[in-house]
Chains A and B, each alone.
Chain A
Amino acid sequence: MEESIKLHYIVPGDDFTRAGAASGDVKRTLKELGVSPSVIRNVSIAMYEGEINMVIHANGGEIDVEITEEEIIMALKDEGPGIENVELAMKEGYSTAPDNIRTLGFGAGMGLPNIKKYTDEFSIDTKVGVGTTLNLKVKIQ
């Protein structure tokens, strides 16, 4: 039987102090499983960026993580404003974050590019006014 571990997280909106809780828990779980440090790093960074995006842009959302022997699958779903121009959003340095967020050190326009950089598979499904879903995969090995 294929072993898999399913984890579910609710990311609250507008609370920076809690952003990172989900990726932190996944990181701990992967460490206890003995997954290699580079894989843990990739998952942790990609997921944290996604979590922060949910807090900044979408008033929170939900994350589902599935860990199997071969890969870590992440689905990050929000019901936020959606992304108007995905191509632009994927550009390094492009950001729509408001100034008050930027002064906190976020909104550098590296969120989506970083998520893509640290994952093996990346797909984005977004609709203006409906929300955004990211489907990510990081392969183990």
Chain B
Amino acid sequence: MSITFHSVRLDADKCQGCTNCIKRCPTEAIRVRNKKAYIISDRCIDCSECIRVCPHHAKYAVTEHFNELVSYKYRIALVAPALYGQFNNLENVDYVLTGLKKMGFDQVAEVSKGAELISSATRIMFDTGELKKPAISVACPAVVRLIRTRFPNLIPNLLPLCAPIDMAAKLAREEAREKTGLSDEDIGVFFISPCPAKRTAIRSPLCYDGSGINGAFAIKDIYPVLLQTMEKLKPEEIEPLNDSGIIGVGWASSGGEAAGLLKERYLAADGIENVIKVLEELEDEKLNDLDFIELNCCTGGCVGGVLTVENPYVAKARIQRLRKFMPVSCNSIDSDFDLDSLAWTKELTPSPAMKLADNVIKAMRMMSKLREIEASLPGLDCGICGAPSCRALADDIVRGYATENDCLIKRFKSENHTEGEDWLPLPFRDKIITEDTGEENNDR
């Protein structure tokens, strides 16, 4: 299998080899092998579910270290609107943006500005009728990867535009080049990110040849320094840097992008399980009466990213309050704007990660064998074999990554334990002993 780039990683020292992450992974990308979790690179979509669920903090997100900044003469902070929701009693986002400049960034650029331009471009594309409906948002990179891996039939429905972050980076770079005369290598663009999926998209973009963004810092890493800097700011120091309104900043939480399209026939779903349910229904053409579908893998949208510090609902409420004092939108594109400049430069191809074999006949033989093996397994989905379910173990066996011997229950049963069933762990016994009488009881 080829190794794809990821920002979600495993700290093997912390991993206890438990079954929490394998059960939660939406693409069944994790197995426990040699007492440690192992991520199947081709299947991982960097959604962060394993980071959220790991009780030992063994799953983590890789982001850039601040030292990276010294390699560039001119440094731009690309700000996710989710950052605005992290601060209590914030009345004006200029405090955040000025704070970042005080920290050492030469320029700040709001992703919400890119978002308003993308909203505007999407509205134009709806008007000209060139979108396949329902169009699916591409703002969440984990959703794009999920579709590529589990729902390849839906690739044509993806909104064929760059994400706000790419748009904002492009504009900021152009501005910096003009202002400073520096070349692209001397200008470092760094995203202040709510999640690892965005970093993966930056470092290994699927729909472009290069993102023009040099790296990502985690909101949680920058937060303590930024907060201290902001607290020391005097009112007269605040620069009027905010250049986006209600529509752009709204993209931070679920429903924001869809609302910015000013259409009624839309759906916004968040949280990976809900996203999968919607994609299943969309695939079966049950949602054809919709124009637009916004999907975010994290609960609440980007404010729910694992690299944020604040509870997503609190962050959302704060952003709602901030938006009250903002104009509806500060950015839009004219109808004579060249939309092609926002288009993808690379075709998005389906990921073959779930396919059994390239050859259909071979795949069918494997599938018959898989079904046979699955039927012979106990169906407990206990995870002791290191696979998330009996079905996944059967899948691993036909692919040659595991053997039927890996099923502990099956092995126990075949090892000829003739006397009773005391050797079986409690959940697997037919008869149970009640606590009060010590007698066998089948009533429970």
Contacts and interface: CB of A to CB of B under 8 A. Distances in A.
Interface of A: 3-5, 7, 20, 23-24, 27, 29, 31-35, 37-38, 40-41, 44-45, 48, 67, 69
B153 interface: yes
A29 B367 contact: yes
B57 interface: no
A5 B152 CA distance: 23
B354 interface: yes
Interface string B351-375: 0101111101101110110010000
B152 A33 contact: no
Interface stretch (B45-53, B165-173, B280-288): B280-288
B367 A34 contact: no
Contacts of A29: 367
B357 A37 contact: no
Contacts, number: 57
Given A32-B355, A33-B367, A34-B355, A69 B152 contact: no
A33 B361 CA distance: 9
A20 B150 CA distance: 18
Contacts of B361: 3, 69
B153 A33 contact: no
Contacts of B357: 34
Given A5-B364, A67-B364, A69-B364, A34 B284 contact: no
Nearest to A49: B284
A38 to B, nearest CB: 8
Given A24-B280, A44-B284, A45-B284, A34 B358 contact: yes
B45 to A, nearest CB: 16
Contacts of A69: 360-361, 364
> Which one of B150, B357, B367 has the highest number of Cβ atoms from chain A below 10 Å of its Cβ?
B367
Contact of B284 (A31, A37, A48, A67): A48
Nearest to A3: B364
Mostly, the B contact residues are helix
20 contacts: A3-B364, A24-B280, A27-B283, A29-B367, A31-B354, A31-B355, A32-B356, A32-B367, A33-B360, A34-B356, A34-B357, A34-B363, A35-B360, A37-B153, A41-B153, A41-B284, A44-B283, A44-B284, A45-B285, A69-B364
Interface residues of B, number: 22
Contacts of A38: 153
Contacts of B360: 33-35, 69
Interface string B375-405: 0000000000000000000010000000000
A48 B283 CA distance: 12
A4 B368 CA distance: 8
Contact of A33 (B283, B284, B363): B363
Contact of B354 (A20, A32, A45, A67): A32
Contacts of A40: 153
Interface in B334-363: 352, 354-358, 360-361, 363
A23 B280 CA distance: 11
Given A33-B364, A69-B360, A69-B364, 14 more contacts: A5-B367, A5-B368, A7-B371, A32-B356, A32-B363, A33-B356, A34-B352, A37-B153, A38-B153, A40-B153, A41-B153, A41-B284, A45-B284, A69-B361
Contacts of B395: 32
A44 B354 CA distance: 18
Nearest to A33: B363
B161 to A, nearest CB: 22
A37 B152 contact: yes
B276 to A, nearest CB: 11
Interface centre among B152, B357, B363, B365 (most CB of A within 10 A): B363
Contacts of A35: 360
Cβ-closest 4 pairs across A and B: A37-B153, A3-B364, A34-B355, A33-B363
Interface string B268-300: 000000000000100111000000000000000
A3 B284 contact: no
Nearest to A38: B153
Nearest to A41: B153
B280 to A, nearest CB: 7
